[in-house]
Amino acid sequence: MTETRKRAHFLYIDCLNVTACFCVIWMHCNGLVHSFANSVVWKESLIVETIAYWAVPVFFMITGATLMDYRDRYSTVTYLKKRIEKTVLPFVIWSIINILYKSWRGDLDLSTLNPKTFFDMFINTKFEAVYWFFIPLFAVYLSIPVLSLLKKNKKILIYTVVLGLLTYSFLPTMFAILRVPYNSALSFPITGGYILFVLIGFLLADTNIEQKYRILFYVLAVFGILVRYCSTYIWSIRSGVLNKTFWGYLNFPSVFLACGVFVAFKYFPWNKLLEKYETIKKILEKVSGASFGIYLVHIMVMNQIIEWLNVDIARRAWRIGGAIIVYLISLIIVLMMKKIPILKRIVP
């Protein structure tokens, strides 16, 4: 691989990373979508929820795109050590920080904790709900040393992805529409959890996709948006309760959208656009490197902004502009922490 191709690869990954991180915050600032009401606020929040939903799947896809070939760079032991340093230790430390933070806010009574409840709240991410992402991420990391052995056999990987799509993305939804219980034992075990996105991310990153197929990805992405938004909108209003038939990161509308976004970022001419702006590229790389830290701190930042400024979370100004404020403040905090030797280890 030439130096130019390496630069292009990392540039679009950086752009994906930054945008996905912002979209996660944008969804959290529009959390009212989870409480159905036939109102303008709910309908607008549903738009945000639908178009930003690709963020979490794409984070797993980036993992596949960047780590499936780790054997070309270092050993499996080194790989596992790096994963522990970059994710396990921050998860443990920030879970403890959240315990202290929620105790300080009065949201958690430490006297009610015993070893059993502490372990339950820790392992099931009850100290901070958005940290749910860590648990499937750990499972993905442990699976990659096995999956990486298959990276040169794309036919096997494609076969695995097809069965994963069928049994995790399509059949459960079709059974739900027919109101027939889906037997989860039919699900293809190898693509359990979020492995499906890891494999798709690797294949999309490692394959030269012809323009006609790129267009197909974009059409499917738009189709996924329309299916999820329209079904949720129409069926929720009809029933008076939030309908989530086409929700879920593994549901096919989400998969279609994530794939379309990934392909669009990969083939967007980032290098041509920024060819004269090396400084911007360096800044983008630094901001991308802060995404994980931003994810760790943004909920606390958001909560404090809402409390200190007495923010009405139903206001459009917050649901649109709040994400920008939370993102920028979180970014500044993380970049400052990265300059402090001890603290930089918990915002890798």
Give the model's pLDDT for residue 275: 80
Per residue in 203-213, pLDDT (tens digit) is: 999 999 999 99
The answer to which of 30-34, 118-122, 197-201 has the lowest mean pLDDT is 118-122
222, pLDDT greater than 90: yes
Q: Which domain holds residue 181?
A: 1-69+151-275
Q: Is residue 19 part of a domain?
A: yes
Q: Is residue 99 part of a domain?
A: no
Answer whether residue 272 shows pLDDT above 90: no
Distances (CA, A) of 337 to 30, 104, 293, 302: 28, 22, 9, 18
**120 belongs to a structural domain:** no
Confidence of residue 26 (pLDDT cuts 50, 70, 90): very high
Tokens of 45: 């929040």
**Is 39 inside any structural domain?**
yes
Residue 140 lies in a domain: no
Q: List the helix and strand counts (H, then E) for the chain.
A: 17, 0
**What does the pLDDT look like over 79-133, one tens digit per residue?**
999 999 999 999 999 999 999 999 999 999 998 899 999 999 999 999 999 999 9
CA torsion sign for 328, 333, 338, 343 is negative
Per-residue pLDDT for 9 more than 70? no
Q: pLDDT at residue 2 above 90?
A: no
Task: State the chain's mean pLDDT as an integer.
Answer: 94
Could you give the number of structural domains in the chain?
A: 1
Q: Is 235 exposed, middle or buried (0-12, 13-18, 19+ CB in 10 A)?
A: middle
pTM: 0.94
Residue with tokens 């300080």: 104
> Tens digit of pLDDT for each residue in 275-311?
888 899 999 999 999 999 999 999 999 999 999 999 9
In a domain, 293, yes or no: no
- Quick check: is 216 in a domain? yes
Instruction: Please check whether residue 121 lies inside any domain of the structure.
Output: no
The pLDDT of 312-328, averaged and rounded, is 96
